[in-house]
Structure 1
Amino acid sequence: MTRKNYVLGSLFLSISAIGALSGCSSEEAASATGDQVITVGTQNDYPPFAFADDSNELTGYDVEMVKVIDERLDGYTFEFVAVPWDSMFLALESNKIQAIADQVAKTPERQEKYLFTNESYFAAETVIAVKTGREDIQTVEDLEGKSVGALAGDSYTLLLEEYNETADTPIDLKYSESGNPSEMLQDVQNGRVDAYVNDPIMIDAVLEKNDLGVEIVGQPLVNDDMGIVLKNGEEGEELKALIDPILKELKEDGTLAELSIKWTGGEYIPE
């Protein structure tokens, strides 16, 4: 099997320029092997799933998972680029990227519009985070009339927006321009918002790194399975048919469980 060389790039808000950050380009490597390049978008600030390390290279559970798929899939080379969340699906639709590996929940609305792998690679929860010591918020009902940090288009915000459709008193969603989870959790600590709703593993990672006075409260609001999102069309269908058996294999041989333990401390692999 051909040894793959990975390059990490940045896809900016204009989604017009992809710049290499280190090493030789994967396009050069692919040219030498005849591989087809698949550009995979992910965030650079969503630990421990996808983030830039001290060397400014993308790493984390989602990134390593895709790299393992790449190693087992002949004929393709995967190139990773950092994409802001609010540009992620636009980049996919415009073919700036051909896949997303970024803890994207397989919601019915997204599955109608985008192509997901049948095999899910992570089972995630949705929880509420508040300032340490606060006792008046435990459930989603407790968020009514309160301000909650939000990121347009993510599954956590969609959950709250859907709740607001029938709520007696809507949740006051404060949409972030940066989309940076650490900034939104800092807003919780500083009282700029009352709460933040997201994945508990990511929240714990950010709290530990930044030593924030924020804690998770109550029970999980919902559980979601995460899948790789592919460019809709013939190319995406072909790639999906190749990736699904590999994801199934990674579940059965324990590779995903090992990666999950490495990055999250537990096995969060859907059946």
Structure 2
Amino acid sequence: MKRKSRLLVPMIALLGLAGIVSGCSSNEAAKEETGDKVILVGTQNDYPPFAFADENNELTGYDIDVVKEIDKKLDGYTFEFVATPWDSMFLALESNKIQAVADQIAKTPDREEKYLFTDESYFAAETVIVVKSGRSDIKSIEDLEGKKVGALAGDSYTLLLEEHNKKAENDIILKYSESGTPSEILQDVQNGRIDAYVNDPIMINTVLEKYDLDVEIVGQPIVQDDMGIVFKDEKQGEELKALVDPVIKQLKEDGTLAELSKKWTGGEYIPE
């Protein structure tokens, strides 16, 4: 019988990805106990409601639940989650410290050149602008030109702004965060250290409810992205992709993804 997925919640430090290494002994124990092949799935622990640590320091959220549903349907595999900082995520994948990423990763041409994405997307996310409440001079991406905007290196929202700068006469001034957490960037917006932030409205509203920040979403969504599970572009990644794609399709068709989306976000944000 298929065993339930296990949770690992080590904080992967920047020094040598020590948290991942600490999970290796747990992986061996899982293999011996279940006979399953263990697949380590990297995700953040501070990106609510998609992937975050709860009051018991266990990973939870929409992306976590989606992978758990996939795990239930794949005999011979056990999926374990590893809390990984955003700036270490793809390095961990490339070095095989993790074998998959489920962390609201948008499909972009550059990423699809380097990594394997599931053909089936499991979430459709919008991109919006956040400013300090009451500010009226920013409504669009063009209005960000010449302004200081919070950024996380390598995420799809930052890539969008970097691409805009390539054709803009007046650059958006990107302020790359050292903390790597959206909540701290939103606090910088509130406190006036930066002018705006660009990210997903569902995550933003979840953070606002938790911290009661004096910021607001303005204008119309800039773009909509489809999110996929990511694998290393190699034989094992191809095998996992071939197994996972049909399961995501099934979870769409039977309404599971819609129910999970409503549970965590309050709406159905499932791509066709």
TM-score range, shorter chain: over 0.9
In structure 2, the partner of 1:122 is 123
| Distance in 1, Cα, partners of 2:85 & 2:28 | 22
SS in 2 for 1:101: strand
Matched, 1:184 2:181: no
Is the contact made by 1:50 and 1:58 (CA closer than 8 Å) also made in structure 2? yes
Is the contact made by 1:136 and 1:142 (CA closer than 8 Å) also made in structure 2? yes
Runs of 4+ in 1 over 4 A off after TM superposition: none
In structure 1, the partner of 2:224 is 223
Is the contact made by 2:122 and 2:270 (CA closer than 8 Å) also made in structure 1? yes
- List runs of 5+ in structure 1 lacking aligned partners: none
Deviation at 1:25, TM superposition (A): 3.7
* Residues 217-246 of structure 1: per-residue CA shift (max 9 Å, x gap): 000000000000012211110111110000
In structure 1, the partner of 2:142 is 141
SS in 2 for 1:9: coil
Deviation at 1:124, TM superposition (A): 0.3
Deviation at 1:15, TM superposition (A): 1.4
AA matched with 1:8: L
| Distance in 2, Cα, partners of 1:95 & 1:178 | 25
Q: Give TM-score scaled by structure 1 length.
A: 0.96
| Distance in 2, Cα, partners of 1:41 & 1:209 | 24
In structure 2, the partner of 1:8 is 8
Is the contact made by 2:48 and 2:207 (CA closer than 8 Å) also made in structure 1? yes
Is the contact made by 1:186 and 1:212 (CA closer than 8 Å) also made in structure 2? yes
Is the contact made by 1:26 and 1:78 (CA closer than 8 Å) also made in structure 2? no
Deviation at 1:166, TM superposition (A): 1.1
In structure 2, the partner of 1:59 is 60
SS in 1 for 2:237: helix
In structure 2, the partner of 1:250 is 251
Across the aligned residues of Structure 1 and Structure 2, the Cα RMSD in angstroms comes to 1.2
Deviation at 1:26, TM superposition (A): 5.1
| Distance in 1, Cα, partners of 2:33 & 2:55 | 30
In structure 1, the partner of 2:98 is 97
In structure 2, the partner of 1:43 is 44
- List runs of 5+ in structure 2 lacking aligned partners: none
- How many residues align structurally? 268
Identity %: 74
Question: Kindly tell me: are residues 8 and 17 of structure 1, through their superposed partners in 2, closer, same or farther at Cα, counting changes over 3 Å?
Answer: closer
